[in-house]
Structure 1
Amino acid sequence: MNTRSKLAAAPYLLWMVVFIVVPLILIAVFAFTTTATCDAEGNILSEEALADYLAECEENETEPELTEKTIFTLQNILDVSKYTTVLINSAWLALIATVICLVIAYPLAYMISRMFYTRQKLALMLVMLPMWMNFLLRTYAWMTLLEKNGLINKLFGLIGLGPFNMINTQGAVVLGMIYNYLPFMILPLYSVMTKIDNRTVEAAQDLGANSFQVISRVIVPLSMPGVASGITMVFVPSVSTFIISRMLGGGTNMLIGDLIDLQFLGNAYNPNLGAAISLVLMVFIFLCMSITNQLDNEEMDGVLL
């Protein structure tokens, strides 16, 4: 790399360090440290010892001499195991939303990729149109649709059904994930499918492949990079969301994002535990992405063979 290339890459590297590396280091530091209370001699006091010391000072009518210091600990990481159910529930709802997004987006992206260019632009604009609105506004709109006196229940009432309890449920949370993140599944699929050479499909048909075989043995394998990208772009924000679960789940369906938010901004203020949960979540997401990429590579190897 010459000097000019290094200078051109400097802003990007600086951005990476400031906004990615430094925050990750801070999260790791918070996750593996805690604030301990010490006596005047610097001895760390347990909760029982601290209570006894304060009681003794109160009895002797003396001012307690206490200090605080940051110490290394693994307890924050170990405490994350208490919230395994929340993590599993978050992953499960995110997986459901991701699968449904894939089922909806795949044929839609394929149809868009086979349209004329002018129609493709119109279809893509319609796909991206919801993304131009504020995220909170889009989610709030679904609150008004799903509530007991909302438009959907009113439509059911016209045919003598309902009202149904649709808001503050896991189904509402999944619906919010699908609506907000569906474009992130469509766009990478469309990007890959437009690059599939029609001559490849025609060659498969000339060799006697029927429509199902063309889709399953040609189009699907060649579109796997888009599938992998779409799964990542939908699953990652879905598993870590907290706005959707708070607004459409009513706080009764706590996800891992809600739990982290409580540790940093809520009544359960404990940034060290929040950092530990965030670190575990990042590792979990990294493993899921690694598995997805590995499956994608194996599928592409199968196509080459």
Structure 2
Amino acid sequence: MIYTVTFNPSLDYIVNVKQLKLGTVNRTERELLFPGGKGINVSIVLNHLGVESTALGFIAGFTGEEIEKRVIQAGCKADFIPVETGWSRINLKIRSDEESEINGRGPEISGQALQRLYEKLELLKKDDILVLAGSIPNTLPDTIYSDILKRLASEKVKAVVDATGELLVNVLQFHPFLIKPNHHELEELFGKKLRDKSEIRDCALKLQDMGAGNVLVSMAGDGALLAAEDGTVYESPAPEGKVVNSVGAGDSMVAGFLAGYLEKQNYEDAFYMGIAAGSASAFSEQLAEKPEVQRVLKSLRGIGGKK
């Protein structure tokens, strides 16, 4: 079973404005409302690909109730923990001449609520997959991901971590099955500009030396790279298509990788399924559906390969 954890879920309110003007009233041309958060996105795309998962995390207030309702409507299992203080955040995403975002803070997570999450996670079994994805509220320590993996180390749970900075670095000692930085996050981690794919590859291999099993690097229009734990490195250019939505593409890549790996137990298939799912979401208004993923996957075969 796959479990995803989203510490700070949201309602993503996406509006199209013809030309955004600050300091005055702007009228929307189109509006969309989705449950948001990286772990939730992973669960939704897994469901679209026919893979069952359970979405965990914290919700609060009327917005939290709406998040839970929409996650269930999307066909996912939900086991969220309600908290008393605050409300789940609303993230405003404005599409105009440029994309802009205003993200909410989220609720306060008490020690008691956190303990309830630990109790749920302690029920995970050997070879279950745990996806820890996204930012955390400022009421939690930046060691929270590593704290969780330390508790689960003896259970042999496969950990997937999609996070930035210290949240990511802190988990490497627990040998996560998969991490998914993008190339900008690699630059931040290593404190230098990465000028070409060979430098990105070197950084991915260094993260393996630091403890990661598989390192999947998304490079936007330049494609993707996988340093697999069997020692093989795969690269692929980005598939052709018009990008209409950047929200959830990286989460979709994680979901696609897991779906591909569970189906074939093969890193090459997992890599291409990850790229296909991430690209299909980028080419769509909403998170990728299976027919679009399969179409993109078919176009990818033969254009990448081992390095």
| Coarse TM-score class (shorter-chain normalised) | under 0.3
Larger RCO: 1 or 2 (CA < 8 Å, sep 6+): 1
Normalising by structure 1, report the TM-score: 0.20
Q: Select the structure of larger CA radius of gyration.
A: 1
More helix by share: 1
